[in-house]
Amino acid sequence: MPPASRLLNPFLRLAAGAALAAALPATAQEVTLRFHHIWNTQAMASVQVIQPWCDKIARESAGRMKCQVLPAMTGGGTPPQLVERVKDGVDDLVITLPGYTAGRFLAMEVFELPFMTNSAEAGARAAWDYLQKHALKEFPGTKVLATWVHDEGYVHTRDRPVRTLADFKGLKMRAPTRQTNTLLASLGATPVGLPLPSVPDAVSKGTIDGFLLPWEVMPSLKLQEMVRYHSETDPSRPALYSAVFVFAMNQARYDSLPAELKKVIDDNSGAALSRQIGRTWDQSQDAGRRAARERGNVFHTVPAAELDQWREKAAPLYGAWVSEVTAKGWPGQQMLQDAQALLAQYRSAP
């Protein structure tokens, strides 16, 4: 009869093997992150921001972490629902505009007030710092990886140009957020709230006469083919408007990652990523402008003196925002001043 020690050895080997197998998933865990967003695959953001970010986290995790990208809302739901979907864990990652949910994200909305900045990079840097101080409480259950604003928003119209304040009268114009809709109303237009994917159909059917948009997004939807007139603003003045984006991750999903994969996410998020994305938006204008020029569309630069009249009409929006935020128990005037100070700081920073 074999010794008892020899009888026990197979069981010991089995136990050791089971322990090793149990340890392997923790050290070699492979993660697929469901990344849901609003743009089609040809859009600048898809090509220059989302895919490079996904490629980078895959490379830096040695292939252990990758994205399952769901463009143009192909994962279901609507753009305004993305903030809830990531909070609830339906999606692991999203990029969206908080302003699509009117009045909910009041703190970050300060950057959507008119005539705040004409640099997406400066806006991104300011927005990230401001988020840490004033707005993280608006995103429970969510880890914000980056925040930024787009490049300058301009006026694009189908049948007649906008050169003066009086030209807004009678126009039905689309804008993306509550503040930009209020801005249009203050300038004399009739605002029409629509998500971006609905804009081409609305222009072609005459539901709207035009829209406020940055150049960046127009080529992917061929919007330069649906309008003829483009009113840009004198660069000596801040842009007519901008809108805030957030790149967000479900907090529980992040917390579930092993430390080495959390580090990959941490290394590819935060102030540096926000600034990089803002710079990418600043550099994105040429493609859209070129497509419109090649089509023979008509460009007009609204001079500074005329813009000052527009700013005067829009001035009450600042006080209204401060009052609304203050009524919620927040230091509204200080928040506005902080946002303006940060924008000024980063406009002059190298």
**pLDDT one-digit tens code per residue, 234-252:** 999 999 999 999 999 999 9
pLDDT-derived band at 320 (thresholds 50, 70, 90) equals very high
- In percent, the amount of the chain with pLDDT more than 70 equals 92
Residue 195 is assigned to a structural domain of this protein: no
Mean pLDDT score, 75-85: 95
Question: Residue 75: which domain range?
Answer: 30-151+243-282
Average pLDDT score over the chain? 92
Mean pLDDT score, 252-260: 98
Residue 61's pLDDT is what?
98
339 pLDDT higher than 90? yes
Phi-psi region of 97 (alpha: psi -120 to 50; beta: other; left: phi over 0): beta
CA distance linking residue 271 with residue 294, whole number of Å: 37
pTM over cut 0.95: no
pLDDT-derived band at 182 (thresholds 50, 70, 90) equals very high
Total number of domains constituting the chain: 1
For residue 179, report the phi and psi dihedrals to the nearest 5 degrees: -65, -35
Mean pLDDT score, 158-183: 96
Residue 303 is assigned to a structural domain of this protein: no
Residue 185 is assigned to a structural domain of this protein: no
Nearest to 313 by CA among 185, 153, 195: 185
CA distance linking residue 40 with residue 203, whole number of Å: 19
13-61 pLDDT, tens digit per residue, is: 434 434 433 333 445 689 999 999 999 999 999 999 999 999 999 999 9
Between strands 154-157 and 229-233, the pairing is: antiparallel
Residues 6+ apart with CB under 8 A from 93: 33, 34, 35, 36, 67, 86, 145, 247, 248, 249, 250
Residue 9's pLDDT is what?
44
Residue 84 is assigned to a structural domain of this protein: yes
282-315 pLDDT, tens digit per residue, is: 999 999 999 999 999 999 999 999 999 999 999 9
108-136 pLDDT, tens digit per residue, is: 999 999 999 999 999 999 999 999 999 99
Domain CATH number, residue 140: 3.40.190.170
Residue 29's pLDDT is what?
85
12 pLDDT higher than 50? no
CA distance linking residue 62 with residue 58, whole number of Å: 6
pLDDT-derived band at 349 (thresholds 50, 70, 90) equals confident
What b/e readout covers 4-39, taking b as 16+ CB neighbours within 10 angstroms? eeeeeeeeeeeeeeeeeeeeeeeeeeebebbbbbbb
Residue 191 is assigned to a structural domain of this protein: no
155 pLDDT higher than 50? yes
Q: Which sign, positive or negative, has the C-alpha torsion 6, 12, 17, 18?
A: positive
Residue 3's pLDDT is what?
44
Residue 41 is assigned to a structural domain of this protein: yes
Query: What's the chain look like in SS3?
Result: CCCHHHHHHHHHHHHHHHHHHHHHHHHCCCEEEEEEECCCCCCHHHHHHHHHHHHHHHHHCCCCEEEEEECCCCCCCCHHHHHHHHHHCCCCEEEECHHHCCCCCCCHHHHHCCCCCCCHHHHHHHHHHHHHHHHHHHCCCEEEEEEEECCCCEEEECCCCCCCHHHHCCCEEEECCHHHHHHHHHHCCEEEECCHHHHHHHHHHCCCCEEEECHHHHHHHCHHHCCCEEEEECCCCCCCCCCEEEEEEEHHHHHHCCHHHHHHHHHCCCHHHHHHHHHHHHCCHHHHHHHHHHCCCEEEEECHHHHHHHHHHHCHHHHHHHHHHHHCCCCHHHHHHHHHHHHHHHHCCC
Higher pLDDT, 9 or 347: 347
Residue 157 is assigned to a structural domain of this protein: no
Residue 350's pLDDT is what?
83
Residue 176's pLDDT is what?
87
Residue 7's pLDDT is what?
37
Mean pLDDT score, 328-336: 97
Residue 171 is assigned to a structural domain of this protein: no
Residue 197's pLDDT is what?
82
Taking the C-alpha atoms of 45, 251, 109 and 334 in order, what is their torsion angle to the nearest 10 degrees?
-130
